[in-house]
Amino acid sequence: MTKPAERTRKILFLDEFVEVDTYQPVHWPEKQELVAGRFPLNPTLRRCFDQTPNEDRESLETEHWWDLPFIISRDWECCVEIIKSIQAQHREQANDYVISDDELEAKIQAEKLRWFAEFPDGVRYDVRCLDGGAWDRSTWWGCSGSLDEAAKLAEAGPAWRSKLS
Protein backbone atom coordinates (compact mmCIF):
# COMPACT_ATOMS: atom_id res chain seq x y z
CA MET A 1 0.00 0.00 0.00
CA THR A 2 1.43 3.38 -1.02
CA LYS A 3 1.54 6.27 1.38
CA PRO A 4 -0.63 9.25 0.34
CA ALA A 5 1.27 12.36 -0.73
CA GLU A 6 1.86 14.94 1.96
CA ARG A 7 -0.30 18.02 1.48
CA THR A 8 1.92 20.45 3.37
CA ARG A 9 5.57 20.91 4.22
CA LYS A 10 7.58 23.34 6.34
CA ILE A 11 10.01 25.87 4.91
CA LEU A 12 12.08 28.66 6.45
CA PHE A 13 10.63 32.03 5.44
CA LEU A 14 11.82 35.33 6.93
CA ASP A 15 13.53 33.62 9.87
CA GLU A 16 10.61 31.42 10.87
CA PHE A 17 9.28 28.07 9.79
CA VAL A 18 5.98 28.26 7.92
CA GLU A 19 3.76 25.55 6.53
CA VAL A 20 3.09 25.66 2.79
CA ASP A 21 1.04 23.43 0.54
CA THR A 22 2.85 20.89 -1.57
CA TYR A 23 2.64 21.09 -5.33
CA GLN A 24 -0.27 18.90 -6.49
CA PRO A 25 -1.69 18.03 -9.95
CA VAL A 26 -4.52 20.54 -9.41
CA HIS A 27 -1.85 23.28 -9.54
CA TRP A 28 -0.32 22.18 -12.84
CA PRO A 29 -0.61 24.68 -15.74
CA GLU A 30 -2.34 22.15 -18.01
CA LYS A 31 -5.17 21.90 -15.46
CA GLN A 32 -5.92 25.63 -15.73
CA GLU A 33 -8.22 27.66 -17.97
CA LEU A 34 -6.08 29.29 -20.65
CA VAL A 35 -6.27 32.66 -22.37
CA ALA A 36 -4.94 32.98 -25.92
CA GLY A 37 -4.33 29.22 -25.78
CA ARG A 38 -1.32 29.70 -23.53
CA PHE A 39 -1.70 31.84 -20.41
CA PRO A 40 -3.44 30.48 -17.29
CA LEU A 41 -6.35 32.64 -16.12
CA ASN A 42 -7.01 32.72 -12.37
CA PRO A 43 -4.88 29.63 -11.88
CA THR A 44 -5.30 27.39 -8.87
CA LEU A 45 -1.93 28.04 -7.27
CA ARG A 46 -0.88 26.34 -4.09
CA ARG A 47 -1.35 28.24 -0.84
CA CYS A 48 1.74 30.39 -0.20
CA PHE A 49 2.82 30.29 -3.86
CA ASP A 50 3.75 33.96 -3.51
CA GLN A 51 5.42 33.50 -0.11
CA THR A 52 7.95 30.82 -1.00
CA PRO A 53 11.62 31.51 -1.70
CA ASN A 54 12.38 30.39 -5.24
CA GLU A 55 15.13 28.03 -4.04
CA ASP A 56 12.60 26.28 -1.75
CA ARG A 57 10.09 25.52 -4.50
CA GLU A 58 9.54 21.93 -5.52
CA SER A 59 11.42 21.23 -8.76
CA LEU A 60 8.26 20.31 -10.69
CA GLU A 61 6.57 23.58 -9.70
CA THR A 62 9.59 25.52 -10.94
CA GLU A 63 9.69 23.47 -14.14
CA HIS A 64 5.99 24.11 -14.79
CA TRP A 65 5.68 27.78 -13.80
CA TRP A 66 9.09 29.38 -14.44
CA ASP A 67 8.71 31.97 -17.23
CA LEU A 68 5.02 31.14 -17.74
CA PRO A 69 2.99 34.35 -17.39
CA PHE A 70 -0.45 34.02 -15.83
CA ILE A 71 -3.40 36.37 -15.42
CA ILE A 72 -5.37 37.09 -12.26
CA SER A 73 -8.69 38.93 -12.54
CA ARG A 74 -9.77 41.13 -9.65
CA ASP A 75 -13.07 42.93 -9.33
CA TRP A 76 -13.91 46.01 -7.25
CA GLU A 77 -15.34 43.91 -4.41
CA CYS A 78 -11.98 42.14 -4.10
CA CYS A 79 -10.27 45.52 -3.84
CA VAL A 80 -12.63 46.60 -1.04
CA GLU A 81 -11.91 43.38 0.85
CA ILE A 82 -8.17 44.06 0.59
CA ILE A 83 -8.53 47.66 1.81
CA LYS A 84 -10.62 46.51 4.78
CA SER A 85 -8.27 43.63 5.54
CA ILE A 86 -5.24 45.92 5.59
CA GLN A 87 -7.03 48.34 7.92
CA ALA A 88 -8.03 45.44 10.19
CA GLN A 89 -4.36 44.45 10.42
CA HIS A 90 -3.40 48.03 11.32
CA ARG A 91 -6.07 48.09 14.01
CA GLU A 92 -4.94 44.76 15.40
CA GLN A 93 -1.37 46.07 15.58
CA ALA A 94 -2.56 49.47 16.91
CA ASN A 95 -0.02 51.16 14.63
CA ASP A 96 0.17 54.67 13.14
CA TYR A 97 -1.91 53.68 10.09
CA VAL A 98 -5.18 53.18 11.95
CA ILE A 99 -7.97 55.38 10.60
CA SER A 100 -11.55 55.90 11.74
CA ASP A 101 -14.52 54.13 10.16
CA ASP A 102 -15.50 57.42 8.46
CA GLU A 103 -11.97 57.85 7.07
CA LEU A 104 -11.99 54.25 5.90
CA GLU A 105 -15.30 54.77 4.08
CA ALA A 106 -13.97 57.97 2.46
CA LYS A 107 -10.82 56.11 1.39
CA ILE A 108 -12.92 53.33 -0.15
CA GLN A 109 -15.05 55.83 -2.07
CA ALA A 110 -11.95 57.65 -3.38
CA GLU A 111 -10.38 54.34 -4.43
CA LYS A 112 -13.63 53.36 -6.14
CA LEU A 113 -13.53 56.50 -8.30
CA ARG A 114 -9.92 55.79 -9.29
CA TRP A 115 -10.67 52.09 -9.89
CA PHE A 116 -13.58 52.65 -12.27
CA ALA A 117 -11.73 55.48 -14.06
CA GLU A 118 -8.94 53.03 -14.88
CA PHE A 119 -11.06 49.86 -15.20
CA PRO A 120 -14.49 50.94 -16.53
CA ASP A 121 -15.83 47.38 -16.60
CA GLY A 122 -14.88 47.01 -12.93
CA VAL A 123 -12.31 44.25 -13.51
CA ARG A 124 -8.53 44.53 -13.39
CA TYR A 125 -6.38 41.84 -14.99
CA ASP A 126 -2.96 41.49 -13.36
CA VAL A 127 -0.23 39.73 -15.31
CA ARG A 128 2.31 37.92 -13.14
CA CYS A 129 5.16 35.53 -13.82
CA LEU A 130 7.49 33.38 -11.75
CA ASP A 131 10.67 34.64 -13.42
CA GLY A 132 13.17 35.46 -10.68
CA GLY A 133 12.26 39.14 -10.56
CA ALA A 134 11.50 38.58 -6.88
CA TRP A 135 13.18 36.08 -4.59
CA ASP A 136 9.98 34.71 -3.05
CA ARG A 137 7.06 35.36 -5.36
CA SER A 138 5.89 35.84 -8.90
CA THR A 139 6.75 39.16 -10.51
CA TRP A 140 4.02 41.68 -11.35
CA TRP A 141 4.34 42.47 -15.06
CA GLY A 142 1.49 44.94 -15.27
CA CYS A 143 -2.27 45.19 -15.45
CA SER A 144 -5.03 46.02 -17.87
CA GLY A 145 -8.75 46.67 -17.91
CA SER A 146 -9.29 44.08 -20.65
CA LEU A 147 -8.47 40.41 -20.88
CA ASP A 148 -7.26 40.78 -24.48
CA GLU A 149 -4.81 43.51 -23.48
CA ALA A 150 -3.62 41.42 -20.52
CA ALA A 151 -2.93 38.53 -22.90
CA LYS A 152 -0.92 40.89 -25.13
CA LEU A 153 1.08 42.03 -22.10
CA ALA A 154 1.71 38.40 -21.14
CA GLU A 155 2.93 37.72 -24.68
CA ALA A 156 5.19 40.79 -24.84
CA GLY A 157 6.54 40.61 -21.31
CA PRO A 158 7.02 43.52 -18.95
CA ALA A 159 8.13 46.90 -20.30
CA TRP A 160 11.09 46.99 -17.91
CA ARG A 161 12.52 43.83 -19.46
CA SER A 162 12.88 45.43 -22.91
CA LYS A 163 14.67 48.43 -21.34
CA LEU A 164 17.36 46.10 -19.98
CA SER A 165 18.19 44.75 -23.45
What average pLDDT score do residues 152-158 get?
Answer: 95
Question: For all residues of the chain together, what is the average pLDDT?
Answer: 92
- Residue spans per domain, the chain: 8-158
- Mean pLDDT, rounded, for 67-82: 97
Count the helices and strands in the chain (H runs, E runs): 5, 7
Q: For residues 7-14, give the mean pLDDT.
A: 74
User: In which band, very low, low, confident or very high, does the pLDDT at 53 lie, cut at 50, 70 and 90?
Assistant: very high
**Quick check: pTM over 0.85?**
no
User: pLDDT, tens digit, for every residue of 97-144?
Assistant: 999 999 999 999 999 999 999 999 999 999 999 999 999 999 999 999
Give pLDDT, residue 17. Answer: 78
User: For residue 1, is pLDDT > 80?
Assistant: no
How far is residue 147's CA from residue 72's CA, in Å, rounded to a whole number?
A: 10
